[in-house]
Amino acid sequence: EVTQVNRCLDAAKACNVDEACQKLRTDYVSQCIRHVSRTEQCNRSKCHKALRKFFDRVPAEYTNELLFCPCEDTACAERRRQTIVPACSYESKEKPNCLTPLESCKGNNICRSRFAEFQYNCQPSLQSTTGCTRENYAACLLAYTGIIGSAITPNYVDNSSSSVSPWCTCNTSGNRQEECENFLHLFTKNICLQNAIHAFGNGTNLNPV
Amino acid sequence: RTIKDRKRKNKGCVLREIHLNVTDLGLGYETKEELKFRYCSGSCNNPETTYDQILKNLTIKKRLVNDKVKQACCRPTAFDDDLSFLDDNLVYHTLKKHSAKKCGCV
């Protein structure tokens, strides 16, 4: 077998030779891996801020390759999962109920508007051939990267699939079960988002005419 | 002769660039990532300061035979931005002051 293609690795190589991408990637990695104390692993708000700066300022040709690179093996998929330094930006000891991060998102101006963009541009539709109401994969991917570094930061859930989710569950939602699941399924059961990521990987992300 | 004239004569000292694997740096990291490495290269034969001129004169007159005094070297005067990369064990590392941004005879 010839050397396996690892598009996520190629994306990192490409970023390292672009001045802006290299600098802003290093900025967020440095913020996200900096240990602040024995009890606190990192400063999540600084890590999130640096991630937002990265996805806001670096052209999508680099950021999309780093985040949506298609993978056939776990080495590639694990690298893809590590893109946003999840130990700091994503995971926490307890998985909260999804309504908790959702409420804190609604209480923040940036997060609220970014989430609205995500809902709008990644709105699934069973009637559309693309799976998207807006029929625009690029807009959906851009909206997805827009919420990285917020209270509802999504990421790949494991190193074997391309399933994404924010760090939360809908267990113990009580009488708000439906509300919770409506939010969670925007990530985990969203045909538009899934198609957009898949289409990016196989180069068919051009919008239908 | 002004300092500016002297500096122009050391135009041999320049910034060069080479594309490398991070492993080529020999720092012990295991990763497949790559980087642009910039370094300073070239001669600094022409004295840039009065100090350098005196050293040169004393060397020619063989007044400093016992000491190993060095003339100016082509060295980085500023470094590139830090560089982060992910290693094969999925640990991030950051290199600081690893690559030259500007060169000078110092």
For A89-143, write each residue's pLDDT tens digit: 999 999 999 999 999 999 999 999 999 999 999 999 999 999 999 999 999 999 9
Of B32, B84, B90, the CB nearest to A9: B32
> What are the tens digits of pLDDT across the range A26-73?
999 999 998 777 777 799 999 999 999 999 999 999 999 999 999 999
Of A9, A17, A25, the CB nearest to B84: A25
Range B8-23 average pLDDT: 88
Q: Between these two residues, A109 and B62, which has the higher pLDDT value?
A: A109
CB contact under 8 A, B33 and A85: no
From the list A169, A33, A50, A39, the residue with the least C-alpha distance to B85 is A33
CB B96 within 8 Å of CB A29: no
Cα A178 to chain center, whole Å? 23
Q: Which positions in chain B have a beta carbon within 8 angstroms of at least one beta carbon in chain A?
A: 19, 32-36, 81-86, 90, 92, 94
- The answer on pLDDT for A206 being more than 80 is no
How high is the pLDDT of residue B67? 74
**Residues of chain A neighbouring B92 (CB-CB closer than 8 A):** 29, 32-33, 82, 85
CB contact under 8 A, A82 and B90: yes
Percent of chain A scoring above 90 in pLDDT: 88
Range A160-178 average pLDDT: 94
How high is the pLDDT of residue B1? 47
Instruction: Chain A: give the shortest CA distance to residue B20, in Å.
Output: 11
Instruction: Chain B: give the shortest CA distance to residue A209, in Å.
Output: 38
Using alpha carbons, list the distances in angstroms from residue B71 to B43, B77, B105: 10, 16, 9
Pairing of strands B100-105, B34-41: unpaired
CB contact under 8 A, A33 and B81: no
- Report ipTM (2 d.p.): 0.85
- The answer on pLDDT for A207 being more than 60 is no
Of A22, A32, A33, the CB nearest to B83: A22
Token couple for B48: 């840039």
Of B32, B33, B82, the CB nearest to A30: B82
How high is the pLDDT of residue A208? 47
Report the chain A residue with the minimal C-alpha distance to residue B91.
A82
Token couple for A29: 């990695």
Residue owning tokens 């590392």 = B93
Q: How confident is the model at residue B8 (pLDDT cuts 50, 70, 90)?
A: low
How high is the pLDDT of residue A91? 95
- The answer on pLDDT for B32 being more than 80 is yes
Percent of chain A scoring above 70 in pLDDT: 96
Q: How many CA atoms lie within 13 A of A165 on its CB side?
A: 20
On whether any CB of chain B is under 8 Å from the CB of A12, the answer is yes
